[in-house]
Chains A and B, each alone.
Chain A
Amino acid sequence: MWYFECFPTPTINTVTPDIATQEASTRAQAAPSRDDLLRMLGTLWQIRTFEDEVQRLAAAGEVPGFPHLSTGQEAVAVGVCSQLARDDVLFTSHRGHGHVLAKGSDIESTFAEVLGRETGLCRGRGGSMHLVDAANGVLGATGVVAGNLSLAAGAAWAAQALGNSNISVVFFGDGATGAGAFHETLNLAALWKLPVLFVCENNGYAEFTSREEHSTVKFVRRFAEPYEMAAITVDGNDLLAVYAAAGKAIAGLRHGEGPYLLECMTFRVAGHFVGDAQRYRSKEELAAMREKDPIERLQQHLLQSGVTQDALDVAGEQARRTVLDAVQRARASAHPDPSGVLDGVYAAERLNTTNG
């Protein structure tokens, strides 16, 4: 795993300077306060618990389809999304539950969508891979790898054309760099100086095949260079590192400095999808990965900065309780009525599928 070459020992609050390529912005970012960090710790726990519940209920046959979990990647979601405004727009991949929650979408409605309920964000029409929460700026997850990088660029173009200060953020995995749409979009975004933040969660695997077997290009940020796009690689399991780098990138975007590629080296703890036995990974790799756990690392940092173990326990317990309660409510909520299955394909009533 290239992660270990890059970050051999667990680090705290380190933006490794020798692997930053171009720093577009030198704006100083305020470090997060202790309260901010405790809040973010709570969100990390919320995502972790949400994913654990999806896994548990999927195994019990209660979740339709094949959800993809972001367990282990929570620090990327929280480090970036905690700095977005509600009107900033977010696009994500098939592994997007964490991003949606970190952006502030309602936990119960998000879980209900994963369960395919009428009470879900998309009334059960979208599911785990197609989460949309338009009112909260979540414009969509996609089930196609690299499928919405260009949509995120388009949203940024709209912001540019309409003259508002919104930025657009898209999360994708390193597997997306194999797709032509990734390269086309980077070129276009750089050319038009679009306010779009490309966040690569480089978890070392594209589905079931390691990055080493996918590409000669070790770091995804390298793809930014030919387009003269600012880029950096950070330890994606270090919330403080992600937060600092994302803050800088977002400040630059808001000041019209053009797109930014933020590469976060991280781990996909729960495999490609729920049920993936991960036989393609060694025991050593799985064990080493757990030592990098982003929640544990943030807790260590907070303890060192004077937060008590009790305070950490309370934050964790509160977050877990919030999610478990929301999951219970989602599970008890209404299923969609099959009589509505034909509705809503087109805008006008007469453009309905029955007239297809």
Chain B
Amino acid sequence: MSETFIEILRRALDEELTRDPAVHLLGEDVAAGGAFGVTRGLAQKHGAQRVRNTPISEAAIAGLATGAALCGLRPVLEIMFIDFTTLSLDTLVNQAAKYRYMSGGQLAVPMVVRTQAGAAGGAAAQHSQSLEAWFVHVPGLVVVAPSSPAEAYGLLKSAIRLGDPVLFIEHKRLYTMKETIAEDAELPAIGRARIARTGEHVTLIAYSAMVAYAHQAAERLAAEGISVEIIDLRTLTPLDMTTIAASVTRTHRAIIAHEAVRNGGFGAEIAARIGEELFDELDAQVLRVACPFVPIPFAPELERALLPGADNIVRAIRTQLQQGGAPT
């Protein structure tokens, strides 16, 4: 049975609430289902104490989840939009991320912060951002960005069981995407990327909603005899350089695609790592596909004009293939 991203998140949360009494959900409107309906029905099933509404207090509720995680709960906090994590940053950056290290290993923060990012449908500049680069910069945080419903199911469960604070970034454009999950699939390991499509000529590194565009681009180029390997990072921190290195060592080309703005984006870090660690393997410059350095506009035609998609990826791959001779 195929389910939407939202339905699959709900199923994963429901199963984790059932499996482990320490798991508690909290956030604005979550008892009523949350702004996107992810938690619908869970308060009725698991009780209002375990699926708990909070005031609109992003600073306090991030701290509430962190303090509870120190004391035996496994909170799953929903911050409605990643744009609002700006209000939670003290707790996430200064406290949750550092507790394990700063306490010399005495304490840990087994907490998941589910949040939702990306541009779609005229959400405009304060509800559309892709801010993952801020969080990958903080040692102690784990950052996960699933690319599809089935991926989200396994990754959310793994994140809840991990034992360290995880920022779990859901892309709003994926919420209506449908997929069937294999019932007996093993849960994915946090910190491991996956090869989403095998190919020979170029390694295309993507995550979250860009993985779908990567597939579209790869299909189009396949018709021209260009074979694209797609790596779906799944976890941004810790970055799985092993998988990236193995692929780039075969293809000798790398392109990184993300929806976040190019300046200081996570693509810069990946490109630098490839440059530092795999320079001799490269037949061409590492390229990035990303959003220009502009806030997300409101009008649909402006939003469409700004966001990177399959066309941008195809162009980048063609540009790269013109460098350094024909792909081998």
Measured CB to CB, the residues of A under 8 A from B are 89, 91, 120-126, 130, 132-135, 139-140, 142-144, 147-159, 161-162, 168, 180-181, 184-185, 187-188, 191, 344-348, 350-353, 355-356
Among the interface residues B50, B72, B91, B104, which one has the most CB atoms of the partner chain A within 10 A?
B104
Q: Please, which residue of chain B has its CB at the minimum distance from the CB of A353?
A: B139
A356 to B101, CA, bound (A): 15
A200 to B163, CA, bound (A): 33
Beta-carbon contact of B191 and A151 below 8 Å? no
A22 to B41, CA, bound (A): 39
Among the interface residues B49, B63, B90, B95, which one has the most CB atoms of the partner chain A within 10 A?
B63
**Neighbouring A residues of B98 by C-beta, 8 Å:** 130
**What are some 18 contacts across the A-B interface (CB < 8 A)?**
A122-B104, A124-B104, A132-B103, A139-B67, A147-B95, A150-B59, A150-B67, A151-B64, A154-B75, A161-B50, A162-B73, A168-B67, A344-B101, A346-B164, A346-B238, A347-B164, A351-B191, A352-B238
Q: Tell me whether B286 is interfacial, beta carbon within 8 Å.
A: no
**Neighbouring A residues of B164 by C-beta, 8 Å:** 346-347, 351
Among the interface residues A134, A153, A184, A348, which one has the most CB atoms of the partner chain B within 10 A?
A184
Beta-carbon contact of A142 and B68 below 8 Å? no
**Neighbouring A residues of B49 by C-beta, 8 Å:** 161
**Neighbouring A residues of B191 by C-beta, 8 Å:** 348, 350-351, 355
Contact of A126 among B103, B142, B239 (CB under 8 A): B103
Beta-carbon contact of A351 and B107 below 8 Å? no
**Neighbouring B residues of A154 by C-beta, 8 Å:** 63-71, 75
Beta-carbon contact of A345 and B55 below 8 Å? no
A184-B142 contact, Cβ under 8 Å, with A132-B103, A347-B108: no
A139 to B62, CA, bound (A): 16
Nearest chain B CB to A138 CB, angstrom units: 9
B217-265 with Cβ < 8 A to chain A: 237-241
**Neighbouring A residues of B66 by C-beta, 8 Å:** 150-151, 154
Q: Tell me whether B12 is interfacial, beta carbon within 8 Å.
A: no
The 7 closest A-B pairs by CB, nearest first: A154-B67, A150-B63, A151-B67, A123-B104, A184-B60, A158-B71, A184-B57
The size of the chain B interface, using a CB distance under 8 A, is 50
A155-B139 contact, Cβ under 8 Å, with A125-B103, A188-B64: no
A125-B63 contact, Cβ under 8 Å, with A144-B90, A147-B94: no
Q: Tell me whether B102 is interfacial, beta carbon within 8 Å.
A: yes
**Neighbouring B residues of A158 by C-beta, 8 Å:** 67-68, 70-73
Q: Tell me whether B61 is interfacial, beta carbon within 8 Å.
A: yes
**Neighbouring A residues of B325 by C-beta, 8 Å:** none
Beta-carbon contact of A181 and B63 below 8 Å? yes
A159 to B164, CA, bound (A): 20
A181 to B92, CA, bound (A): 13
Known: A123-B105, A126-B102, A181-B59. 7 other contacts (CB 8 A): A120-B104, A144-B90, A154-B65, A154-B70, A157-B68, A344-B104, A356-B238
A150 to B66, CA, bound (A): 8
Beta-carbon contact of B63 and A148 below 8 Å? yes
Beta-carbon contact of A355 and B63 below 8 Å? no
Q: Tell me whether B32 is interfacial, beta carbon within 8 Å.
A: no
Q: Please, which residue of chain A has its CB at the minimum distance from the CB of B100?
A: A344
Q: Tell me whether B322 is interfacial, beta carbon within 8 Å.
A: no
Among the interface residues A123, A133, A152, A347, which one has the most CB atoms of the partner chain B within 10 A?
A347
A233 to B201, CA, bound (A): 72
Q: Please, which residue of chain A has its CB at the minimum distance from the CB of B108?
A: A347
Beta-carbon contact of A345 and B140 below 8 Å? yes
**Neighbouring A residues of B100 by C-beta, 8 Å:** 344-347
**Neighbouring A residues of B95 by C-beta, 8 Å:** 142, 147-148, 151
Among the interface residues B54, B69, B105, which one has the most CB atoms of the partner chain A within 10 A?
B105
A181-B106 contact, Cβ under 8 Å, with A144-B90, A144-B94, A158-B71: no
Q: Please, which residue of chain A has its CB at the minimum distance from the CB of B140?
A: A345
Interface string of B70-89 (1 = CB under 8 A from A): 11110100000000000000
A346 to B91, CA, bound (A): 17
Q: Tell me whether B162 is interfacial, beta carbon within 8 Å.
A: yes
Among the interface residues B54, B102, B108, B140, which one has the most CB atoms of the partner chain A within 10 A?
B102
Q: Tell me whether B8 is interfacial, beta carbon within 8 Å.
A: no
**Neighbouring B residues of A147 by C-beta, 8 Å:** 63, 90-91, 94-95
**Neighbouring A residues of B266 by C-beta, 8 Å:** none
Nearest chain B CB to A118 CB, angstrom units: 9
